[in-house]
Structure 1
Amino acid sequence: MSSSVLTEVTGDVTTITINRPESLNALNEETFQSIGAAVTEAAENSRALILTGSERAFSSGADLQGGVAEREGIDLAGANAIIASILDLSIPTIAAVSGPAAGIGCSLALACDYLVMSEKSYLMLPFTKIGLMPDGGSTALVAASAGRHRALRLALTGEKLQAADALDWGLASEVVPAGSHLTRAEEVAAVFAQGPTLALTASKRAINRASLTALESSFGREVEGQDALRASADFAEGVAAFLDKRSPDFTGQ
């Protein structure tokens, strides 16, 4: 297991921690693959799973510090498969969110069955700010819980959706005082781990399949759209502006 992903097993509960605090737990290909391996192992050895981030963030999304090449280095189809595996996991999953859950990091959080947010945390789909579109299944995940116009609002504006609003929109399960998100997630996981696992699994899968009927086609549209957008001048400008800490000058090319 990579040092960018930590795994701890306590009784019947596995906790997976994204551990890149210097980048607010930004995700690269190595980190995604480590998350996927940890999720697979947890499904075999535990009765509940917690996914969280170290220190100040859940995840700030795809790593941009290496510029365009770093963002393009993520195998989006592979990342989608890992997100799909979390949705279809045979044990209940809980996301414990502090700080940002942004970009494809937001997709990871929303893929979990139960989302506990610190009152200081927020969800964000900032893709258009760098000339891209939402990915990681977020075009389906957000719309399924929050509705079309709210999904469009998040996708088109790239605004921060604070925890209280995420709860109101149906994107979070609970909002708890700052610093207590992981403790509360552990309490929820302990209850699930002691519950009727077969019934819990059947319930989550039935609800996911009823509400996420467009997920597979959304993955395909997102991959196709991102492939085209990553070849655009606007994407190169968006990443350059992000790294330079300035406003981008998009030209629609």
Structure 2
Amino acid sequence: MSELIQTRHENGVAYITFNRADKFNSFVREMALELQNQLKKADKDDSVRSIVLTGDGKAFCAGQDLKEAADDNGIELQKIVSEHYNPVIKLIRAIEKPIIAAVNGVAAGAGANIALACDIVIATESASFIQAFSKIGLIPDSGGTFFLPRLVGMQKATALMMLGDKVSAKEAEDLNMIYKAVPDADFNSEIEKTATKLAKMPTKGLGLTKKLLNESWTNDLSQQLQREDDIQTEAGQTHDYNEGVQAFLEKRKPNFTGK
């Protein structure tokens, strides 16, 4: 296991931390591949019912370590995108468990877009988001051209990507780019509270909701209604559905097990 990614499990939550604080948690190959590995482990572990991605130190993630990308003997850009970032984004969207991006500081380039690919983004008020690619003549990768226009609209996304403006966490919340910005002093408790709440909810139902949201990007209304029909039937066969109904009828708090 690489030390560049730290993982701990607590109360049904897998906390996955980018651990390269001296480099603002910028990615190198070893770190990207280990993130993929830890996401796969969290996906397969039935005891994990929600996942938190966050960074150590002052930054969430500053994107790609440019020294690695610019090294003549290093890894070519195409390989970095196809083998490092694309698999991470695909895993984040495919894992049928809620994933929170806990943005503790600056999220730039691929770091910003990894956060935006997550199900729920919570940031400190001192955090910021930057589509930094245009500053070095690149295009936004890691799903940025897919997620950002859907979150903030085409006009705003285009401007943010071309101009490379820094967006404060509060502005990101106002733009519907993220779920919420919270005071720095309350950040850790807010993340723990939200992640633990999700871990105690009906995991299968949440995962199926995520699956339908993914499909809604390409389905028309009739197709989506049919998929809701199909998936609702599947959700209705889960243990947690039966427990939720029984708890409602008995006027008690449900005890969901994620099955």
Using structure 2 for the length normalisation, give the TM-score.
Answer: 0.78
Confirm or deny that 1:77 pairs with 2:79: no
Overall identity of the aligned pairs, in %: 31
Partner letter of residue 76 of structure 2?
Answer: E
Partner letter of residue 65 of structure 1?
Answer: K
Does the CA contact (< 8 Å) of 1:26 and 1:60 recur in 2?
Answer: yes
Partner letter of residue 44 of structure 1?
Answer: K
Alignment of 1:41-56 (within 5 A): 41-45=41-45, 46-56=48-58
Q: 1:160 aligns with which of 166, 187, 191?
A: 166
- Which sections of structure 2, spanning at least 5 residues, go unmatched? 220-259
Alignment of 1:180-219 (within 5 A): 180-211=186-217
Q: 1:62 aligns with which of 52, 61, 64?
A: 64
Does the CA contact (< 8 Å) of 2:28 and 2:68 recur in 1?
Answer: no
Partner letter of residue 183 of structure 2?
Answer: P
Question: What SS does the corresponding residue of 1:58 show, helix, strand or coil?
Answer: strand
Question: What SS does the corresponding residue of 1:110 show, helix, strand or coil?
Answer: helix
Partner of residue 29, structure 1: 29
CA separation in 2, counterparts of 1:21 and 1:148? 33
Does the CA contact (< 8 Å) of 2:19 and 2:56 recur in 1?
Answer: yes
Partner letter of residue 169 of structure 1?
Answer: L
CA separation in 2, counterparts of 1:85 and 1:179? 31
Does the CA contact (< 8 Å) of 1:16 and 1:51 recur in 2?
Answer: yes
Q: What displacement does 1:183 show? A: 2.5
Question: What SS does the corresponding residue of 1:95 show, helix, strand or coil?
Answer: strand
CA separation in 2, counterparts of 1:53 and 1:9? 16
Does the CA contact (< 8 Å) of 1:62 and 1:71 recur in 2?
Answer: no
- Which sections of structure 1, spanning at least 5 residues, go unmatched? 214-253
The CA deviation string for residues 27-77 of structure 1, in whole angstroms up to 9 with x for no partner, is 111111011000011112210000000010100110013461267365211
* 212 and 93 in structure 1: CA distance in 2 versus 1, 3 angstrom threshold: farther
Alignment of 1:1-253 (within 5 A): 1-45=1-45, 46-66=48-68, 68-69=70-71, 72=76, 75-78=80-83, 79-211=85-217
Question: What SS does the corresponding residue of 2:107 show, helix, strand or coil?
Answer: strand
Q: Which has the higher contact order (CA 8 A, sep 6+)?
A: 1
Q: What displacement does 1:182 show? A: 3.1
Question: What SS does the corresponding residue of 1:136 show, helix, strand or coil?
Answer: coil
* 72 and 100 in structure 1: CA distance in 2 versus 1, 3 angstrom threshold: farther
CA separation in 2, counterparts of 1:40 and 1:135? 22
Partner letter of residue 112 of structure 1?
Answer: C
Does the CA contact (< 8 Å) of 2:130 and 2:165 recur in 1?
Answer: yes
Does the CA contact (< 8 Å) of 1:43 and 1:91 recur in 2?
Answer: yes
Q: What displacement does 1:191 show? A: 0.8
CA separation in 2, counterparts of 1:53 and 1:130? 24
Partner letter of residue 169 of structure 2?
Answer: A
Alignment RMSD (CA, Å):
1.6
Partner letter of residue 171 of structure 1?
Answer: M
Does the CA contact (< 8 Å) of 1:124 and 1:159 recur in 2?
Answer: yes
Does the CA contact (< 8 Å) of 1:8 and 1:16 recur in 2?
Answer: yes
Q: What displacement does 1:11 show? A: 2.5
Q: What displacement does 1:180 show? A: 3.1
Partner letter of residue 181 of structure 2?
Answer: V
Does the CA contact (< 8 Å) of 1:13 and 1:50 recur in 2?
Answer: yes
Q: What displacement does 1:86 show? A: 0.5
CA separation in 2, counterparts of 1:182 and 1:88? 26
Does the CA contact (< 8 Å) of 2:11 and 2:199 recur in 1?
Answer: no
Partner letter of residue 72 of structure 1?
Answer: E
Size of the alignment, in residue pairs?
Answer: 213
Does the CA contact (< 8 Å) of 2:19 and 2:25 recur in 1?
Answer: yes
Q: What displacement does 1:138 show? A: 0.4
CA separation in 2, counterparts of 1:125 and 1:143? 12
Using structure 1 for the length normalisation, give the TM-score.
Answer: 0.80
